[in-house]
Structure formats: C-alpha cells, structure tokens
C-alpha cells in the first residue's frame, strides 16, 4: 500500500468489502505495480454493509489511471470466466440448461400425475 497523497479530497477507487479476497489482492497489486498512490479504509459497522472497506486516492491524476486499470482488469477477469464456462460446457458434452429443463419437465409430469391420478382412477372404475 502506498502512502496517501495529502493534496486533495479522497476519491474512491474500489470497494474491497464486496469482492473475494483474491480480487482485492489483485487490485492492490495492480495499483502498486503502476505506482498509484492509494490507501485503504477498513469496514465499519453499519446496516447493509454501507461502510464497507475501500481503496482510495487523493490524487486526481492517479484516480483516472487507477479506475481505467481496474476496469480493464475486471473486463479481463469477466472474459476469462466466460471462456472457462464455455470450455466446461464443451467438455461436459451437453447444452447449457438441458438438465434443468428436463428436471422441470419431470416435476411437471409428476405434479400432474398426482393431481389428476385420482380423477383418472374415479373415471376408469365407473
């Protein structure tokens, strides 16, 4: 963590309280590797985690660069997650959602059998 620059108002860069620890570590490293001066605030008690832990800077030039770097990092992570999901689906050999649809269909058939079974028995025995 870099020492905070005292030249201006605090500018929020990233909320670390809402992400997994690995992502927070990656963002800290990204900022440090790019010589971005930042500091962190710890989480404070409050309703709905409204005061979660965050990374801040006081340097407007650093803020613009940091926000751009963080957005690029998140887009990269999102792209990699989608690619991993596509590969897992390919390796699994089934189209996405087929198992879920089949489960719903079987549940519907079972529900109708329970609901209409007594009516069918009553009609067939008369």
pLDDT tens digits, residue range 3-17?
Answer: 555 567 899 999 998
d(CA 94, CA 70): 35
Comparison of pLDDT for 35 and 99, the residue scoring more: 35
CATH topology of domain 1-93: Alpha-Beta Plaits (3.30.70)
Q: Nearest Cα to 27, choosing from 52, 18, 43?
A: 18
With bands split at pLDDT 50, 70 and 90, how would you rate the model's confidence at 90?
confident
Residue 21, Cβ density class (10 Å: 0-12 exposed, 13-18 middle, ≥19 buried): exposed
Q: Nearest Cα to 25, choosing from 51, 55, 63?
A: 55
Q: What are the tens digits of pLDDT across the range 41-68?
A: 988 776 665 567 899 999 999 999 999 9
R_g over Cα of the chain? 26
- Burial letters 63-102, b for 16+ CB under 10 A, else e: bebbbebbeebeeeeeeeeeeeeeeeeeeeeeeeeeeeee
Segment 26-45 mean pLDDT: 93
Segment 21-38 mean pLDDT: 95
Comparison of pLDDT for 123 and 76, the residue scoring more: 76
């Amino acid at each position: 963590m870099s020492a905070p620059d005292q030249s201006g108002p605090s500018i929020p860069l990233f909320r670390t309280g809402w992400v997994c620890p690995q992502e927070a570590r990656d963002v800290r490293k990204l900022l440090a590797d790019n010589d971005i001066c930042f500091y962190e605030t710890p989480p404070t008690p409050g309703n709905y985690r409204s005061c979660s832990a965050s990374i801040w800077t006081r340097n407007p030039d650093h803020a613009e660069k940091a926000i751009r770097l963080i957005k690029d990092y998140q887009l990269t992570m999102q792209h990699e997650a989608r690619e991993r999901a596509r590969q897992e689906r390919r390796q699994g050999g089934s189209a996405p959602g087929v198992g879920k649809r089949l489960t719903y269909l079987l549940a519907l058939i079972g529900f109708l059998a329970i609901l209409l079974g007594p009516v069918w028995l009553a009609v067939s025995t008369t």
